Amino acid sequence: MSARRQPTVERFGEAACLVVLGGGIGRASSARVQALAAAVRAECERGIAWGHPVPAYESVLVPFDPDALDGDAAVDRLTALAAEIGAVATVAADVRPIVEIPTRYGGPGGPDLEEVAERLGRSPAEIVELHAGRVYVVHMLGFSPGFAYLGTLPRALAVPRREVPRPHVPAGSVAIAARQTGVYPIASPGGWNLIGRSEAVLWDPRREPPSPLGPGRRVRFVPLPG
């Protein structure tokens, strides 16, 4: 097994740094990312001029106030924080309730379920059981407002993105691609395989916060009858 890469910290414009922890997509990488983001938020509360950290799969973008914090000093401090995180593979358990997403699989809302089942040599019922049978972690938000990249999908459900993306995917569509799953929070184009739909409102700019999901939150899909 190859050694995990050492963290790197680079300037990202005049008022931010990008910390790359490495490790690819997975729960261990996500744990290190969340630990670093938490450390940055803790320092911000103590008066250090960090902005709100933006976690991704294996990196964290950290804005800072260039009038209050020198760029080189920001790089040095983040390098030290990343080293302190080290080989952390777990973070404190999220005490918030698991976000449950009621989902009606197949039918008009899940037009790709049958195709996915055939491709994987399983029945649609087995696909639903596998998909709903584990708790997922939000690795990051991106693509569109409130779109949460959830992992990790069971290997038995790994299918590639569709060759031709759809120009319109309805809001609430539950989808899978590779080792990830997610819910389209707003209507948009999309290339993932649609296996169901939920009526849960996952993006509302009038709400605070606008999305119930965020990096580190745990998610479970709950099958609905019919």
- Residue 56 belongs to a domain with what CATH number? 3.30.1360.40
Average of per-residue pLDDT across 72-77: 94
Report how many domains make up the chain. 2
pLDDT tens-digit map of 197-226: 999 999 999 999 999 998 889 999 999 997
Domain containing 213 equals: 99-223
Could you please report the per-residue DSSP string of 173-186?
A: EEEEEBTEEEE-SS
Question: Is there a single domain that holds both residue 34 and residue 58?
Answer: yes
Among candidate residues 31, 50, 85, the one where a domain is terminated:
85
Q: What is this structure's pTM? A: 0.81
Res 213: pLDDT: 93
Residue 1 domain-assigned?
Answer: no
Among residues 50, 85, 120, which one ends one of the domains?
85
In angstroms, the CA 161 to CA 163 distance is 6
* pLDDT, tens digit, 9 for 90 and up, residues 131-190: 999 999 999 898 899 999 998 899 999 999 999 999 999 999 999 999 999 999 999 999
Domain annotation covers residue 3? no
Q: Omega of the bond prior to 90 within 30 degrees of 0, cis?
A: no
Written as one string, the DSSP assignment of 85-138 is: HTT--------SPPEEEEEEESGGG-TTHHHHHHHHTS-HHHHHHHHHTS-EEE
